[in-house]
Structure 1
């Protein structure tokens, strides 16, 4: 988040919040997503645990802020990929590749965003809003493909969106679970992404039914 235009006190507070979130991500990478400790965050930052509550009232509040941050980041990555697509590129494929690449490069965020790894955690409406925007972007791209005659009208419906997200999330789950250190190019499971996309296209071919 940019701090330009903020007064010095507000800017310093925002910078501290960003530092807290960065440290939280680092600790989650080494200790596990669900094992985050406010005391450990405070120690890493050189502050007393009660001081941390001036910025986040609870551990769940940190998770919520990280959820929103991750959702905003991956949304921006997808939109940038689509915006820079050439005329002959498949917008759905380009956006999906950018999404999966980002998820593999940021496994902590991916666990927080797409798997229920933290007992009792539910993102707030504000934190979840960017994820809803991602779904609406997907719906728009599918509808554009329908309007162009490349997909059946059902492809922009709720069932199709559920299938599309389930198939891609399944590949990501397999990849992160079985080859967490593999790259987007080399991963055994993520390499099947074009196959999954082709299966979706066949399912919702214009002549379906």
Structure 2
């Protein structure tokens, strides 16, 4: 077979994979993330289930591909928002990045459930699928380290503990929003409007001086 023929076959295979993943997202939006079935995806595309197995041998394989796809979309949305920000102020960049993260989550609730909440029993992303999420965490670590370097945060802010606290408190309003007002826009949501306050709490906790109560200091 010529290289041209091979390239056409590769392109067609990739197109079919994208069609399968798009159909899976549509079904999950309508029926729930954990209710996905290969037979339903095959019916959606007019395929026989054995044909679908040539692309994804199991339902978990589809979840894994969607996790990677969503993690890449999320990573890129955050990076693009910061690149277009037109500022190098750490606090402003923080709010811009968190706003982009929140908008993305509200606009893509299926991906959000896959990435940030364990809604599928037994599912664990493969190392390859998880790699874009690790890149996003590394981006965040570097951002917080820049805050440390500029004297806006204590060094602990850029540690694993600091990242865990940051991601926990910024994910909270998003989780509450999706759970309590799933149809509200970013502008209308009463939980996501707390994001600036949440970031202030993080910066106060890790302030270089005077921003955090030291429990070891006697009254």
TM-score range, shorter chain: over 0.9
Deviation at 1:203, TM superposition (A): 0.4
* Residue number in structure 1 paired with 2:120: 118
Counterparts of 2:14 and 2:88 in 1: how far apart (Å)? 42
Partner of 1:53: 53
1:185 is aligned, of 184, 187, 190, to 187
Taking structure 1 as the reference length, the TM-score comes to 0.95
Cross-structure match for 2:152: 150
Shift of 1:185: 1.2
Q: Which residue of 2 aligns with 1:97?
A: 99
Aligned mates of 2:25, 2:165 — CA distance in 1: 30
Deviation at 1:88, TM superposition (A): 5.7
Q: Which runs of 5+ in 2 are unaligned?
A: 1-5, 215-219
- The TM-score, its normalising length taken from structure 2, stands at 0.91
What is the 5 A alignment of 1:1-209?
7-87=7-87, 89=89, 90-207=92-209, 208=212
Q: Which has the larger radius of gyration?
A: 2
In structure 2, how many angstroms separate the alpha carbons of the residues matched to 1:149 and 1:17?
47
Q: CA deviation at 1:69?
A: 0.0
Provide, for residues 117-173 of structure 1, a one-character-per-residue CA deviation record: whole Å limited to 9, x for no partner.
000000000000001111100000000011011111111111111111001111111
* Number of matched pairs: 204
1:31-53 CA distances to partner (integer Å, 9 max, x unpaired)?
Answer: 00000011110001001011100
What is the distance in 2 between the residues matched to 1:88 and 1:144? 10
RMSD of aligned Cα (Å): 1.1
